[in-house]
């Protein structure tokens, strides 16, 4: 009888405290996350990037949230980035994603969710779940699964690097080619 009394008095309350401790910490984490509000936000944005008279790129998104402390801009919903030729003014490429984060200091970008990049000049289409842009290196890259479609073949693989125009790209691990 003493053992059952011990279990009821000490162990059962200990289980509830242990379980409750996790939920309290989890609740605090949720509250902290919710308390981080953007310093600026805008809906249905369109940003044009110019160099002299040349429209280098156009960016559109359903929503933009700017965070000054972390030096980030979060783009949410229907993110589209189009780049244009300096000489002809024609579109060179188009990136679509569900969302993206831009490092406001480096101008690097991390896009994710149904990422599709189309190169007009090379007729190359890239599909992946996540894609990064290194502004310093001027390359796109990912370690995720990718699918590249060209007029003559479809290539599946993992890992990818490319220049802006998809003129020079490499797949780190090819898993299949269909011609």
Given a contact cutoff of 8 angstroms between Cβ atoms, the answer to whether 113 and 75 are in contact is no
Residue 23 pLDDT level (bands cut at 50, 70, 90) = low
- State in words which class domain 40-178 has: mainly beta
Tell me how many degrees the CA angle 102-104-109 measures, rounded to the nearest 5: 25
DSSP letter at 115 equals: E
- Are 98 and 106 contacting, i.e. CB atoms less than 8 angstroms apart? no
pLDDT given at position 94: 94
Span 63-96, pLDDT tens digits: 999 999 999 999 999 999 998 988 888 998 899 9
Q: How far apart are CA 137 and CA 130, in angstroms?
A: 18
Q: Which residue has the higher pLDDT, 17 or 2?
A: 2
Task: Round to whole Å and give the CA distance between 149 and 100.
Answer: 23
Largest Cα separation within the chain, whole Å, is: 90
Per-residue pLDDT, 15: 42
Cross-strand bridge partners of residue 128: 115, 146
User: Is residue 136 helix, strand or coil?
Assistant: coil
pLDDT in tens, 101-127: 999 999 999 999 999 999 988 889 999
pLDDT of residue 2: 52
Check pLDDT > 60 for residue 3: no
Question: What residue ranges do the domains of the chain occupy?
Answer: 1-35, 40-178
CA–CA gap between residue 82 and residue 78 (Å, rounded):
13
């Amino acid at each position: 009888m003493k053992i059952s009394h011990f279990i009821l008095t000490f162990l059962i309350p200990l289980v509830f405290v242990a379980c409750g401790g996790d939920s309290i910490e989890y609740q605090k984490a949720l509250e902290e996350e919710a308390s981080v509000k953007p310093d600026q936000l805008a809906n249905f944005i369109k940003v044009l990037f110019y160099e002299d008279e040349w429209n280098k790129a156009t960016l559109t998104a359903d929503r933009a949230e700017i965070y000054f402390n972390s030096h980030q801009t979060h783009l949410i919903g229907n993110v589209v980035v189009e780049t244009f030729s300096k000489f002809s003014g024609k579109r060179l490429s188009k990136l679509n994603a569900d969302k993206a984060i831009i490092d406001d200091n480096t101008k690097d970008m991390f896009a994710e969710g149904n990422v599709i990049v189309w190169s007009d000049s090379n007729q190359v289409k890239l599909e992946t779940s996540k894609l990064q842009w290194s502004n310093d290196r001027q390359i796109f890259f990912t370690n995720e699964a990718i699918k590249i479609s060209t007029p003559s073949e479809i290539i599946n693989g993992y890992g990818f690097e490319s220049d802006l125009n998809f003129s020079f790209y490499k797949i780190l691990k090819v898993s299949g080619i269909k011609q």
